[in-house]
Every structure is written in structure tokens, then in C-alpha cells.
Structure 1
């Protein structure tokens, strides 16, 4: 079975949130089969920033939904948006 790369945008609850702290909380909340590969902060304007985070996971039913649920439960995360999904070899 192939893996997928998923890029998710994470919006913090507060404009002055420590994004590195949010990334560490995200790492601790990941489902077993999901790996955080890379991330970067991105300025959105008006002093607001979001995180673009790359995850790899098996291409099996329910794994992405499990990840989305885990991310929504992370303290400091306001909302998430799946930006891109692609199969990787």
C-alpha cells in the first residue's frame, strides 16, 4: 500500500501564539501511523501567521480523518484546512 503526503494549514487561536509550541503539541497528538515531515510558518497579513505542515501516512481509509480530529483537539489550534493530498512512492 502506498503512502500519501498531506499538507495541512493550521490556524492558531491567537495572533501572538507561539507557533513552535503549537508544532510540538501537534507532534505529541499525532495518530500512530502519521509522521510530521516538515513545517513552516506563513504570514497571512495584518500580523497573522499560520502553519503549513506536511504529514505522511498510509493511504488507508480513516487515517486522514483521524489526523484531522487529532489536530482540531490540539490546544491553541483554531481551525485547520487540508491544502493538498498526493500519493508518494
Structure 2
């Protein structure tokens, strides 16, 4: 088995969400985090894009996505890209 790089877009609930606090909570919740960036969406709203390396074992990517969706202040987290390392 190898590893998979997940690129995940995280949409905050509103433009008022403190992105630095959200980044900190994401870092605490997710192991294997390699990068986190802000991506302007419009009307003051910014999404976060993160790169996470996980095992390609079944269900691992779904578990990461579910943990992110459970974080307070996250409206939606979705995998937008997936590639083998």
C-alpha cells in the first residue's frame, strides 16, 4: 500500500469566521497536513485549501473529510483532487 495526497477545499460558514483559528483547529484535527492556503471566493469569503497525505487504505480519505466537516465553523469540506505519491 502507498500514500495518497488529498487536496481538500474547506468552506467556512461565513466571512466572519476567524481563519487563523480555523487553521489552528484543522492542524490539530488532521495528521499528515502538508500545506494550508487561503483561496478568495468572492464577497469577502475565503476558502481554505489543504494538502494532506494519508494511507491509500480504504476509507482513510473519507475519514479525513468527515473530521473536517465536523469542525465548528466549517460549512463544507470536500476533496477536490486526489493523487498517489
Normalised by the length of structure 1, the TM-score is 0.89
Aligned to 1:64: 61
Gaps of 5+ in 2: none
Tell me which residue corresponds to 2:74: 77
Query: For the residues of structure 1 that align with 2:59 and 2:78, how far apart are their CA atoms?
Result: 17
Unaligned runs of 5+ in 1: none
Hey, what does 2:49 align to over in structure 1?
A: 52
Looking at structure 2, the residues matched to 3 and 63 of structure 1 have their Cα atoms a distance apart, in angstroms, of 10
Counterpart of 1:13 in structure 2 is 13
TM-score (norm 2): 0.93
SS at match of 1:22: helix
Q: Which runs of 4+ in 1 moved over 3 A?
A: none
Residue 4 of structure 1: how far off its partner (Å): 0.6
Could you tell me whether the CA contact under 8 Å between 1:7 and 1:55 is conserved in 2? Answer: yes
Matched, 1:37 2:42: no
- Equivalent pairs, count: 85
> Could you tell me how far apart the structure 2 residues matched to 1:17 and 1:29 are?
18
